[in-house]
Amino acid sequence: MLSAPKKLKNSQPRLLLIDGDSGCCDRLRDILGITATQLLCFPTLHALSAESLHADDIVLLGLSDCGEEAFHTLRLLTAQLPTQPIIVLAPEVGGEPGNELLTQGASDYISLDHATPEVLFRAFRYAREAHQNKTEINQLRNADPLTGLGNRRCFYQTNLNLIKQVVSGQYQLALLTGDLDGFSKFNSQHGHQAGDEIVVQLRDRLINATPHAHNIHRLGNDEFAIMLACDANDDLHEITRHQVKTLLLATSSPYKTNNRSSILPCSIGIAYYTSSDELDLDELMRRAARARLQAKQEHPGTYQVYDPSLDDKQCSASELEPELAFALRANQFELFFQPQIDLESGKIAGAETLIRWRHPKRGLIMPAEFISLCERNGMIIPIGYWAIHQAGIKLKELQLQGYDNCRIGVNLSFRQFQDSNLSQTIHRIISQNQINSAFLEFELTESALISDEQHVSYCLQELSNLSIDFALDDFGTGYSSFALLQKLPISTLKIDRSFIRNVADNPNDAEIVRAIINLAHSLDKKVVAEGVETPEQLDFLIQHGCDQVQGYLYSPPVPFKDFVQMLEQA
């Protein structure tokens, strides 16, 4: 007799037998000459816990026959233990039933009636080697070669089981998909090697910012997916909101390649899945991708949660696009004014202007439905000049009525800075209409600042010479370096409404708002909080020294005549 049993005794792997016949377990121990600690026996599949397994354990499945019920048991076992080699112990088997056992996931099959220590040991060794080879092949098939993260195939394999657990009511999921704004342009300008370096840096940031890094997958190029899973009773929305803010912060700082510093903001789409939903993984992916596209179009470097209305917007946008140029010529656009309240005096200090489209058939169309479309097709440039002209005219009317200190804000899109004549055109609008530009304020986003830092800086300096002030909108959602805030002529920081929403009861948001206020004041800049809707939010902002607020607590955006009436009543 060969010394196979002794070798088995001295090796680490354990044998785990699943068989309702206890006699089979005793018989196998006798054949191999091993102890109860080396051969563990379980009467049923459910008695074996996946958590109790060691990585190199070998599972033995005892079957009385090779009927359909036996194949079903094998399928359940391979699904439950996908990383373990499984050997079937069955009566005389071969031909088609034997091939079917291998097809259903068995590493090998043996007839115990003819088993010897040598045959069994050889089968164990073969099963371990074959399973190890299979595992390595699967790892190569499922891993992204550049980052080592799971690829798209791995994403589906990993999360299909999670989807089933959501249906059963055990879990609820949030799918986050994101990519870097401007990555394709960076790749074409600097080459794929530099692009690969960016992707590797992105991977490191995602891993550091995500508690469960094993569920990060690279779907292709700079696109990634993260599946967040939590118990059915947890606050999924709050967990997701905290995680996505951490991700946006981690991905907002510059990427370093070849002594070059590049800012590539990350846009993230979110789709939720709970037991009340009826959708598959493909639909969940589509929803997250749709939300990501909306974030990229409206506010690059931020996140968007999927809502069915986003699909309606996509259809509506394609219908609205041909009408934009005519709407501008027909004077269908109108500026609304949202008051900004000075917290020290309690009086109206000015207003932010927000565009609306009075469509002859659809009624009043909000900017979220057409501004991103204008930015894509370039119509934002002429519409932006129209808004500056209208705001200037209204400012002049206010001053003629005696409201000399009322400041009017106008939003500038990052696309407007791509117009080489921006400064000259604005100068012409101001001079031709005799506008007092000292009370005109342009609001720009962080994405506008980083679109072309040198050109934007030049334009701001040129416009600053006209006594125009600048406010940085949605501050805190992107990346603005301390040096950039010092260098550019920005007089106001506007805190994004996403931080104000829960500032009264969320310690993280409260700390962020406090930090922004302190930073702004240390740089001698004014602070305006957007989206103030409750007295509790207002009390917090007053307590921590915020300068001005705007939001529905005071007034929504209103037509110009209503804004003038508010000034008169004040």
- Cα separation, 11 vs 38, whole angstroms: 10
3-state percent helix, strand, coil for the chain, nearest multiple of 5: 50, 20, 30
Neighbours of 2 (CB within 10 A): 11
The DSSP output letter for 301 is: T
CB 450 within 8 A of CB 252: no
pLDDT of residue 337: 97
The CATH class for the domain spanning 4-142 reads alpha beta
CA atoms within 13 Å, Cβ hemisphere of 558: 17
- Cα separation, 289 vs 321, whole angstroms: 22
pLDDT of residue 222: 92
pTM beyond 0.75, yes or no = no
Domain ranges of the chain: 4-142, 152-307, 320-501+554-569
pLDDT of residue 63: 81
List of long-range contacts for 10-13, beta carbons under 8 Å, 24+ apart = 12/54, 12/56, 13/54, 13/56, 13/57, 13/58, 13/124, 13/128
Residues 6+ away with beta carbon under 8 Å from 411 = 352, 353, 354, 387, 442, 443, 444, 473
The token duo for 375 is 């930015």
pLDDT of residue 5: 34
CB 328 within 8 A of CB 382: yes
- Cα separation, 480 vs 457, whole angstroms: 14
pLDDT of residue 6: 37
Homologous superfamily, domain 152-307: Reverse transcriptase/Diguanylate cyclase domain (3.30.70.270)
CATH of 320-501+554-569, one of 1.10.1040.10, 3.30.420.10, 3.20.20.450, 3.50.50.60: 3.20.20.450
The DSSP output letter for 221 is: T
The token duo for 471 is 């406010």
CA atoms within 13 Å, Cβ hemisphere of 415: 19
Amino acid 436 reads N
Going by C-alpha positions, the residue among 144, 225, 222 that lies closest to residue 184 is 222
Chain centroid, CA 123 distance in Å: 47
The DSSP output letter for 357 is: E
Positions of the chain with pLDDT lower than 50, given as ranges: 1-11
pLDDT digits (tens, 9 = 90+) for 26-57: 888 888 887 666 788 887 776 666 556 676 78
The DSSP output letter for 438 is: G
- Cα separation, 93 vs 108, whole angstroms: 11
Backbone dihedral angles phi then psi of residue 204, each to the nearest 5 degrees? -60, -40
SS3 214: helix
| Dihedral sign, Cα of residue 17, residue 23, residue 28, residue 33 | positive
pLDDT digits (tens, 9 = 90+) for 135-152: 666 666 778 888 989 888
